[in-house]
Structure 1
Amino acid sequence: MNLSTLDLNLLLVLHAVLEERSAARAARRLRVTPSAVSNSLARLRAQLGDPLVVRSGRGLVPTPRAQQIAPRLRAAFGEIAGAIEGDRAFDPRATTRAFTLALSDLDQICSLPAIARAYAAEMPRATLRVVSVDHLEATGGLGGGDVDATIAPAHPLPPGHHAADLFEQDSVFVVRRGHPCARRRLTREAFNSLRHIDIHIALGRGGIGNRAAVEALAAQGLHREIAAAVPTFSAAAVIAANTDLVAAMPRRIAEALARLAPLTLLEPPVAALVFRMQLVWHERTHEDEGARCFRELVIAALRDGPRARGRAAEGTRKKPSGPRDSRPTSRSPTR
C-alpha cells in the first residue's frame, strides 16, 4: 500500500476503536457519530484487506492483524501528540536535550564558567553546546535554527528577537609590561600616537561593540591607527604582550588575560565606555518551555556573579529599542 493514498484519519479512528473496544465510545471520544466511525472502519477494512475488529457480545474484538497494529498506532499517536503539545512538562533535571549558546572568546573565558556550573547543577543530564559568534553568523543567526541564544551588547533588535539585560562592563586598554605608556597616565596625545590592534569577532568584521566604540572614541577626539586585526580578544592580548601595540577590551577579559600574559592595564584618557550586555534569543524559541528554562539559568548565573552589576529580568523586545539603548554609556575610569 502507498501511504500517500491512505487517509490517516482512518487510523485515528481505528486507534480509538481498539482502545475503547466500542464504536459508540470511540465516537464519543472522537466527537463524531457512530455511523461515521462505522464508515471509517469499512473504508479501512477495504484498504487493508482485513476485518480489523469483529463483534463479540456487546463489544468489539481485534483481529490478529489489528493486535499487531495497535501498539504501533499507540506509539505513533503518542509521538504526534507530544510534537503538537510541545515540551509543556519540561523537567530540567531529567531532560537530555542539548542547548546551544553562541559566545565570543571573552564570554567563553569570563561568563562560561558560571554558566557551566549552573548548568551542571540544574540540568545534570542535558548537553551544553557552545559555538563561536562566527558560527552563529554563518548559520543564519538566531533565526537559523542552530543556536538558542547569544550574549551581545545592547543594540536595536531586529523583528522577532527578544533580549534580557545581564550586566554592564567597562573597557580598558592593554599593553605589554614595560611599555613606555605603562609608566604614566595615558593622555589623548599618547593614545593617538599609538598603533592599535583591532578585534573583529564576527566573520572578520567589527561587531556591535566595535562599531559603537569607534564612534564613541571619535566623538571625543580620539582616533586609532590600526596595525593588526584579529578575531579574538586572546589573540589581541598575545600580540600586545609581545609588541608595542595596544588593544582595547572589556576590563573583565583584560584582567583575566593579564593573569596569563605579561600585560598592563591602562585606563582610557577619557571617560570609560560602559556596555550593557544582554542575552538575546529569537521568536523561534520564545515560547518553548525548555529554552525558557535554559535562558533563566544563564540569566541567573550571570546576574548573580561577582562581576555582574544591576538586575537582569527576562523581557521581550520585538521592536528595536531606541538609540539610547543601542549606545555605550560613559562613566569615570574609576570603578
Structure 2
Amino acid sequence: MSIEAIDLNLLHVLHLVLTERSVAGAARRLHVTPSAVSNALARLRDLLDDPIVTRKGRGIVPTPRAAELAPAIARALHDLDVALFAARFDPATCTRTFTLAVADAGQLTYVPHIARRMTAELPRARLRVVGIDSLVSLGDLAAPEVDVHIGIPGRGPGIHHEPLLTEHTVLIARDRHPATRARLTGKALASLRHVRVEMVPGRAFRDPVADSYKRAGVEREVVLSVPTFTAAAAVVAATDLVATVPASFARAYGPRFDVRALAGPIPARRISLSLSWHERTHQEAASIAFRTLIKQAMAQFGEDKEGPDLRGS
C-alpha cells in the first residue's frame, strides 16, 4: 500500500480522535456527526489492519499502532499548516491557545509575568498552563498537547531548548521552628525531617536534592512526599518538617506561608531552567512569537548568583 491509496482526510480525523480521546469530541471539532467519525475510523481499520482505538470507560485509548502513528501524523499536519498559513500570522489577531508546562513554583512566580506580557502582545490568544505531571501524561513535548516547557532542559529526539536562568534552592522551615534560632550545625541539619516534592508520583525520576545531600555526606530523612512546592510549604508551615524549594518561590511566597530559609551548611543546588520545545513547532511563526514573549518575561528575573538570604522573610 502507498500513500496514494489513503484519503488524507482520514488522517486528520484520526489526529483529532487521538487528541480528544473521544469520537464525539473529534466530531464537534470537525462539525460532523459522531457516526461520520466512526465511519472514518472503520475505513482506517481496514486500511491499516488494526483496531486503531479501543473503548475505556466513557473514553477511548489508542492501540500501540495508533500511539506510534500519532506523533508522525501530528507533525505532518502541523508542517502542512505552517507551509500554508505561516505567512498570515498576526500577533494582534492570533486566537490560538498556547499550552505551557511548568511546575507549580513557576506557575506562581513566572506565569503572572508571562500572562501580563501576553495580554499586551498576543491580546486575543489564550494561555493554558499545566503541571509536570500533566506534561508526562500528555506525552511530553513530542505530543501535540504541549507547546513549551519551563524547567530542566528537555531531552529526546527533536527537542530544542534554550537557557533561561539559574537559581538556587533553599531549605525552609516554619518561622518559629527551633532550627531558626541560630545557624544550623551539621548535627542539627542531620536531625531534620524532610518533605520531598515528587511532581510525578510513581515515576523513577532522579532526585537531585537527594544527590546533593548524599554528596555532602548528610543523610536526609524524608517522611512525607507531596506533588507540589505549594503543598510542601503548607506542610512546613504547620509542622516541624522542612523542605527544599526554589529561592524565587521562597522569596515571593515565604511570608504568605509564614516560612523562612534556614542558614548553615545546607547542601544547596543550582537550578538551571530552560525553555524547551519540539521540532514540530520550531519554525512556526506563532510559536516563535510565544517563545520570544516567554524569554522576555523571564529576563527580568536574571540569575540568582548568590542564593539570596531569605531569613528575614
Normalising by the residue count of structure 2, what TM-score does the alignment of the two structures yield? 0.69
Report deviation, 1:332.
Answer: 5.8
Give the corresponding residue for 2:148.
Answer: 149
Residue 220 of structure 1 and its aligned partner are, at CA, apart by: 1.2
Name the SS of the counterpart of 2:184 in structure 1. coil
Q: Does 1:254 find its partner at 2:250?
A: yes
Out of 178, 181, 184, the residue aligned to residue 183 of structure 1 is 181
Which runs of structure 2 are paired with 1:3-18 in the superposition (5 Å)? none
SS at 1:254's partner residue?
helix
Confirm whether residue 280 of structure 1 aligns to residue 276 of structure 2. yes
SS of the aligned residue for 1:272 comes to coil
User: Alpha carbon RMSD of aligned pairs, Å?
Assistant: 2.5
Q: Which whole-Å CA distance do the structure 2 matches of 1:263 and 1:82 have between them?
A: 49
Q: Which runs of 5+ in 1 are unaligned?
A: 9-80, 311-330
Task: Output the TM-score relative to the length of structure 1.
Answer: 0.65
- With over 3 angstroms needed to count, the CA separation of the structure-2 counterparts of 1:167 and 1:125, relative to structure 1, is same
| 3-state DSSP of counterpart to 2:256 | coil
Equivalent residue number for residue 302 of structure 2 = 308
| Percentage of pairs with the same residue | 36
Matches within 5 A, 1:107-146: 107-146=106-145
Deviation at 1:261, TM superposition (A): 1.6
Question: 233, 238, 241: which one pairs with 2:229?
Answer: 233
Identify which of 143, 161, 164 aligns with 2:162.
164
- Superposed, which structure 2 residues align to 1:1-335 within 5 Å? 84-154=83-153, 157-205=155-203, 207=205, 211-267=207-263, 269-270=265-266, 272-303=268-299, 305=300, 307-309=301-303, 333=307
Which one has a bigger Cα radius of gyration?
1
Please give the alpha-carbon distance, in whole angstroms, between the structure 2 residues aligned to 1:295 and 1:95.
Answer: 14
The one-letter code sitting in structure 1 at the alignment partner of 2:160 is H
CA distance in 2, matches of 1:218, 1:154: 23
User: What is the aligned length?
Assistant: 234
Alpha-carbon offset, residue 188 of structure 1: 2.0
- Show CA shifts across 1:67-93 (max 9, x none): xxxxxxxxxxxxxx9664242231111
| Matched-pair contact (CA < 8 Å) for 2:234–2:257 | yes
Instruction: Output the CA distance in 2 between the equivalents of 1:85 and 1:239.
Output: 52
Q: Is the 8 A contact 2:189 2:266 kept in 1?
A: no
Distance change (3 Å), C-alpha of 1:179 and 1:86: same
- 1:171-206 deviation per Cα after TM superposition (whole angstroms, max 9, x unaligned): 111111211100011222211111100000124547
1:199–1:230 CA contact under 8 A, matched in 2: yes
Aligned partner of 1:42 in structure 2 is: none
Task: Find the aligned partners of 2:81 and 2:215 in 1 and give their Cα distance.
Answer: 55
Q: CA deviation at 1:94?
A: 1.1
Partner AA of 1:200 in structure 2: E
In structure 2, relative to structure 1, the CA distance for the partners of 1:240 and 1:205 (3 Å cut) is farther
The unaligned stretches of length 5 or more in structure 2 are 9-79
